[in-house]
Amino acid sequence: MLVETPALHENETNPWLSAEARFNRAADLLGVEDGMRKVLKSPAREICVNIPVLLDDGRIEVFTGYRVQHSIARGPAKGGIRFAPDVTLDEVRALASWMTWKCAVVNIPFGGGKGGVICNPAVLSQAELERITRRYTAEILDYIGPERDVPAPDMNTNEQTMAWIMDTYSMHVRHTTTAVVTGKPLNLGGSRGRPEATGRGCMIVTQQALRRFGLEPSNTRVVIQGFGNVGGMAAKLMSRAGFKIVCIIEYDGAVYNPRGLDIPALMKHRDETGSITGFAEAEDMDRNEAMFLECEVLLPAARENVITSANADRLRCKILCEGANGPTTHVADSILQDKKVFVIPDILANAGGVTVSYFEWVQDRQGFFWNEQLVNGRLEEIMVNSFRDVTAYGDKHEVNNRIAAYMLALDRVQFAIRLRGIYA
Ligand code: NAD
């Protein structure tokens, strides 16, 4: 029998509208007046560049790139650059505003930014990607810098991309400036602990949430969607900390073991076969059903818009830890609230990454590098304090964690704007 999928609400998956809906709710509850609301909402700067690039076969192609600086009220803009064929200005805007709120939630001295280049990395050579990266960097050069805007990797960009941006910027300003980007290779000013930071942050906030439910890791079943940087690291660290990772979901299938998966063995199997499926110590299961398994923690760490009005009422988790950016649509928020799911919102749950990026920027500017223990200890302190700040704010104002996180962030950013005043 064919089961009909319920239709999504109009524009439900537009990230800018999701960001706006949550912003409006938080601003209403805070009583933010109209003028300040406009300032908080409007991106401070939106840069669009059309960059000509010579392809390997001698043709010239023009690629469009964006850099949006949503806010610089609390410090330089901070946020990744993504390369993808379907990048839109709306998406980059939404992601830039999320970065503003995320940095404010964890109280690090950055604003929010995001960038993107419309291109298909799957059909481009390394040399073409390098030329796109360098020309894009040259076009936005006047707007980035350690004190202005500090990019980082995002979808389809990586340590190598950051090394090219750092080098291009340094060639123009005529001295090596490692602090212009984060997420760099370790021997070019990168930070220890950065690859694990987002997954580690997810684990720390989940450990905090367990206390509210009187749960121990050993009786906590975890389902993770996405086995990449965030999901893979979270799985590895959480299984090491005693959590029972019962299911991993990837784009090509899911694997399930009610007694808990052996994560290092599953990683080895994936590396050898190219897929998590067919793992001897687990059963394969339908990836579309796996998210609805009964569990204590569901950790979506793959992509946006996976929990919508069409499926939110089927979730059977106590805690939803949003490792990905925007995995839940704003329409699904109220369904989860009615089901009393304890949501650790993305702007808190996955903020471990930007927190260690902040540490990287600090270390680059100091020219003095920390050991991994120091990085992890400082990350833990920030994540624990931020979890407490958000949940205390939620308890005080009787709102859910997502709205509490937005209110806390808006309040911190508006406070900075008031102190600075409106320059004329
Ligand atoms: P990644 O590419 O390393 O991993 C994503 C994984 O999800 C891949 O293994 C991919 O195959 C899988 N996947 C994609 N679509 C899927 C689907 N529909 N179902 C199941 N699996 C699917 O990316 P990442 O860096 O781990 O980022 C994941 C999410 O976390 C993104 O939303 C990203 O914006 C967010 N995030 C990442 C960081 C970071 O430090 N990497 C920080 C904050 C937020």
Q: What are the tens digits of pLDDT across the range 37-91?
A: 999 999 999 999 999 999 999 999 999 999 999 999 999 999 999 999 999 998 8
Atom from ligand 1 closest to the CA of residue 233 = 26
Q: Using the predicted structure, report yes or no on whether residue 215 has a pLDDT greater than 50.
A: yes
Q: State pLDDT tens for residues 237-258.
A: 999 999 999 999 999 999 999 9
Given a cut of 50, is residue 176 above it in pLDDT?
yes
Q: Token pair 């810098």 is at which residue? A: 145
> Mean pLDDT in the chain?
96
Q: Which superfamily, per CATH, for 197-344?
A: NAD(P)-binding Rossmann-like Domain (3.40.50.720)
Q: What is the pLDDT of residue 16?
A: 79
Is the distance from the beta carbon of residue 182 to the nearest atom of ligand 1 less than 6 Å?
Answer: no
Question: Where in the chain do CATH 3.40.50.10860 domains reside?
Answer: 40-178
pLDDT of the residue at 2: 42
Q: Looking at ligand 1, which residue's alpha carbon is closest to its atom 43?
A: 350
Provide the pLDDT confidence category of residue 3 given band limits of 50, 70 and 90. very low
In this structure, which residue's CA is closest to atom 34 in ligand 1?
325
Mean pLDDT score, 268-287: 97
Asked whether 252 lines ligand 1 (CB < 6 A), one says no
Residue nearest to atom 10 of ligand 1 (CA): 226
Residue 13 has a pLDDT of 86
Ligand 1 contact via 339 beta carbon (within 6 Å) = no
Q: What angle do CA 77, 177, 383 make, to 5 degrees?
A: 45
Task: Round to whole Å and give the CA distance between 262 and 246.
Answer: 9
Task: Take residue 16 and report the two structure tokens written for it.
Answer: 């800018």
**Is pLDDT above 60 for 4?**
no
Ligand 1 atom 8, closest CA: 228
Region 123-128: mean pLDDT is: 98
Q: Is the pLDDT of residue 287 over 90?
A: yes
Q: What was the pLDDT predicted at 18?
A: 84
Kindly state the tokens that stand for 27. Answer: 């601003």
In this prediction, residue 19 has a pLDDT band, given cuts at 50, 70 and 90, of: confident
pLDDT tier at 271, thresholds 50, 70, 90: very high
Residue 386 C-alpha to ligand 1 middle, in angstroms? 23
78 noted as active-site residue: no
* For the CA of 197, the nearest atom of ligand 1: 40
pLDDT at position 145 is 98
Q: What is the pLDDT of residue 9?
A: 78
- pLDDT > 90: percent of the chain: 93
Nearest CA to 165 out of 139, 191, 203 is that of 139
Q: Characterise 107 by phi-psi region: left (phi > 0), alpha (psi -120 to 50), beta (else).
A: left
Mean pLDDT, rounded, for 183-203: 97
Closest ligand 1 atom to 304 CA:
32
Is the pLDDT at 5 greater than 60, yes or no?
Answer: no
Report the pLDDT value the prediction gives residue 8, as an integer from 0 to 100.
76
Statement: residue 198 has pLDDT above 50: yes
Q: 1 falls in which pLDDT band (50, 70, 90)?
A: very low
Domain limits, CATH 3.40.50.720, in the chain: 197-344
d(CA 406, CA 20): 11
Strand partners, 244: 221
Dist CA 188 CA 349 (whole Å): 28
pTM (2 decimals)?
A: 0.96
Residue 14 — very low, low, confident or very high, per pLDDT cuts 50/70/90? confident
Segment 355-383 shows an average pLDDT of 98
Query: Given the CA of residue 95, which atom of ligand 1 is nearest to it?
Result: 34
Average pLDDT over residues 289-300: 98
Other CB atoms within a 10 A radius of the CB of residue 188 amount to 15
Q: Which of 114, 236, 244, 318 is catalytic?
A: 114
Nearest to 224 by CA among 273, 276, 156: 276
Whole-number pLDDT of residue 6: 59
Q: Hey, which CATH number is domain 40-178, 3.30.2010.10, 3.40.50.10860, 1.10.10.10, 3.40.50.300?
A: 3.40.50.10860
| pLDDT for the residue 233 | 97
Whether residue 128 has pLDDT greater than 70? yes
Task: Specify whether the CB–CB gap between 234 and 301 falls below 8 A.
Answer: yes
